[in-house]
Amino acid sequence: MIYQLIRRDQAWKATPWLALVSAVVWACPPPIGPFGAFVAMMGLFTGMPHRRATRFEAGLPIEARDLLLARTLSLMALVWIPALSGAAGIVVVSGFSALAAKPLAVGGLCALMAAVAQTAWLKELAGPQWILYPPLFFLPVAGPLMADHPVPLVPPLCALAGVGLFVWAWVAVPRSFQLSRSSSQSFAQVIE
């Protein structure tokens, strides 16, 4: 079931393309290189991390937990595969160095933001769109900063917080997601 859901997920479908772009952009020398953080952020938005299921999926006999797990895995793939490919791009061009930690630090931030968006308004099909806006302002500042001064502890701390949020959501998720005003808006449908 999880595989069936993941392979239909928009985030999963976008992952190979984002990984390719990420590898190329991170491998470029400055001033292009720091745009890797921007690419990661845009990739995250493409995956619509505030959405746990589409209305179409909500009408089908699928456990809410399966939907949540599939969505989380798709989003983590969308964040971490491009981050790893970005690091690989740096290694290929510049060899092993501390620079390769940059995409991983940005990936850690993106993963945490995806986890926060996934766990907000957990009873509903999707959280409100505005939950995407704070990262929109935060990442352009924090992303390049992290890229220039990567703190080794950031990825593991973000990963730990993300896992904690997911475990909480796994326990608290209802058996069926509810439609809501936010999920009935057309944004998700337009993109979907």
Partner 1 sequence: MTPVLEFLNVSRSFMKGVPVLDGVSFSMAEGEVVGLLGRNGAGKTTLIHIAMGLLSTHSGSVRVFGVSPFDDPVAVKRRVGFVSEEQVLPPRSTIAELIAFHRYLFGRWDDALERQLLDRFALSPSSRIHRLSKGQARQAALLCAVCHRPELLLLDEPAGGLDPVARREFLETSIQLLNREGTAILFSSHQMGDVERIGGRIVLLDEGKVRIDRDLDRIREDVCVAMIPRASAPDAAAFESLPGCLRVRAVFDDWHVVVEGDPDAVRGQLMVLSPANSIRCVRVPLEELFIELVGGER
Binding site for partner 1 (CB under 8 A): 4, 8, 13, 54-56, 58-64, 175-179, 181, 184, 189, 192
Give the nearest distance from C-beta 59 to partner 1 in angstroms. 5
Task: Tell me which residue has tokens 């392979």.
Answer: 7
Nearer to partner 1, 166 or 177 (CB): 177
Cα–Cα distance for residue pair 119/21, rounded to 1 Å? 28
Give the nearest distance from C-beta 1 to partner 1 in angstroms. 8
Cα–Cα distance for residue pair 104/10, rounded to 1 Å? 22
Nearer to partner 1, 40 or 64 (CB): 64
Longest dimension (CA), the chain: 50
Give the nearest distance from C-beta 179 to partner 1 in angstroms. 5
Nearer to partner 1, 85 or 183 (CB): 183
Q: Which two tokens stand for residue 122?
A: 């957990």
Which of 104, 127, 107 lies closest to 49 in space, CA to CA? 127
Give the nearest distance from C-beta 5 to partner 1 in angstroms. 9
Cα–Cα distance for residue pair 167/48, rounded to 1 Å? 20
Q: Which two tokens stand for residue 32?
A: 């292009």
Nearer to partner 1, 32 or 179 (CB): 179
Nearer to partner 1, 133 or 170 (CB): 170
Give the nearest distance from C-beta 18 to partner 1 in angstroms. 17
Q: Which two tokens stand for residue 56?
A: 């179409």
Q: Which two tokens stand for residue 29?
A: 């020398």
